[in-house]
Copies of this chain bind each other. A is one copy, B any other.
Amino acid sequence: MSNSPFNPKYQNDDLSKKVIAGLERISETFKKLLWEQAKQLKVSPIQIQLLIFIAYHKPELCNVSYLAKEFNVTKPTVSDAVRVLNAKGLLQKNFSSSDNRSYFVELTALGQSYVEETEHFAKPLQEFFTKKESAELEELFTTLASLISQLNNSGILTVQRMCYACRFYDSSSNRDYCNLLRKELSPSTIRLDCPEFEEKL
């Protein structure tokens, strides 16, 4: 009987264990909500995730390699899912990339309509948080942002588009500043997924 976060016996010794157990339940909730959408629309969870990602990110990020990193699967897995989505007429391959080995994935009109159907799959969670006080949300978001940043630094999440890793981010003189927006960033205005994100040089 070991001291794991999944052993209820020890969860009360250490609040951090209960937090892990709680996050695991949230994780399970995402999985379930995504599957419910999947069944309704007759597409698979990973397929929905790809469609939504493609809808809201620049073409340069919509290639097999990047998508594989984003969703923590191998390239063959993405390659396969793309093939199926293409066969279903939900996306097409755009070979206008500068690198001739690669291509961009683009949504078709049908793919767009699937995104509109599925992009609110997390609605029950959304509704919960919308009701909360903004102070509580700020606390929570600050914690999450700091966690994700650390997961990024330690190489567990390999893609990241958040301020802390961006070339426009400036933390000198004890502030968080964006050199592109020319704005001070507060813990709660830090972006997790900034459209203008660029890697540090």
Chain A residues proximal to chain B, CB less than 8 Å: 1-2, 4-9, 11-12, 14-33, 35, 52-53, 55-57, 71-72, 115-116, 119-120, 122, 124-126, 128-130, 132, 134, 136-141, 143-145, 147-148, 150-151, 154, 156-157, 161, 188-189, 191-195
* Complex contact A19–B195 (CB within 8 A): no
| Residues A15 and B138 in contact in the complex (CB < 8 Å), given A20-B126, A21-B192, A195-B9 | yes
Give complex CA distance A188, B27 in Å. 20
* CB neighbours of A29 from chain B (8 A): 151, 156-157
* Complex contact A137–B16 (CB within 8 A): yes
For the complex formed, measure the closest distance between the CB of A189 and the CB atoms of chain B, giving whole angstroms: 7
| Residues A11 and B189 in contact in the complex (CB < 8 Å), given A126-B20, A151-B124 | no
* Complex contact A21–B193 (CB within 8 A): yes
